[in-house]
Amino acid sequence: MKIAASFLDIKEPKCEELTKLDKLDIDYIHLDVMDGIFVENKTYTYEEFYDIVKFTTKPKDIHLMVSDVKKYIDDFSKLKPDYITFHFEAVSEVSSVINYIKNLGIKVGISIKPSTDVSEIIDYLDYIDLVLVMSVEPGRGGQAFMEDSLNKVEQLYSLREKNNYNYIIEIDGGINDETIKKCEKVDMCVVGSFITKGDYEERIRKLRD
């Protein structure tokens, strides 16, 4: 199980906190990007993110919670992330966005909100590298894990087996040392407040146990 740490809930200064996280046993830094339109909250500009991520050497997993997807891809691809994930609900031309990211040499993820079914993205599963199942409403950290998301994980797992698809399954929202135990079919868990609201090293050790 891979762990992607989200620093959404860290208060300033993020640079020191990122330096601290960089030394610990996490696989990715998960960057939550919000535009104040697709979701109510707004995170940093690309320039601000650019300054913050200088303090990490971990591979980057970008989660775009934005409406103007292509504009954000243009900016955030400059951070050389491993993955860029966009929201299925935010775009009309899904295949075109998939190809847009692929052509930049970056792995592509599609994220679905709690109210979106796996059946809605079925046509794209053969073309993507990651499916991000939201286990909370996108927009802020610290919410409770929605158990229903596990049905989607189950469906994605069996669809992958049956069709030899290559995507990894990621889950995001409300993951802690208890809820992670229910995620054995998940390949990558995003963890925000559970890590950042405690002693980082100890919290990560608890997740790994």
Annotated catalytic residues are: 32, 172
> Which one of ligand DX5, Zn ion, none is in contact with 97 (Cβ closer than 5 to 8 A by kind)?
none
Smallest distance, Å, CB 63 to ligand DX5? 5
Q: Smallest Cα–Cα separation from 61: which of 83, 88, 32?
A: 83
- Residue in the block written with tokens 């599963």: 125
For the residues of 72-112, what is the DSSP string, one character each? Answer: HHHHHGGG--SEEEEEGGG-S-HHHHHHHHHTTT-EEEEEE
Q: In the block, which residue shows the tokens 């504009």?
A: 71
Q: Which range of residues in 12-20, 98-106, 173-181, 198-206 is near ligand DX5 by CB under 6 A?
A: 173-181
Residue 143: which of Zn ion, ligand DX5, none does it interact with, CB under 5 to 8 A by kind? ligand DX5
> What distances in angstroms separate CA 202 from CA 29, 88, 181, 205, one per listed residue?
18, 35, 17, 5
61 binds ligand DX5 (CB under 6 A): no
Site string for Zn ion, 69-108 (x = CB under 5 A): ----------------------------------------
Q: 34 or 128, CB closer to ligand DX5?
A: 34
Which of 101/133 has CB closer to ligand DX5?
A: 133
The b/e string for 172-187 (b: 16+ C-beta within 10 A; e otherwise) is bbbbbeebbebbeebb
**Angle at CA of residue 17, ends 170 and 182, nearest 5°:** 25
Residue from the set 14, 58, 60, 63 that interacts with ligand DX5 by CB under 6 A? 63
Residues that bind ligand DX5 (CB under 6 A): 6, 8-9, 30, 32, 63, 136, 138-143, 172-175, 190-194
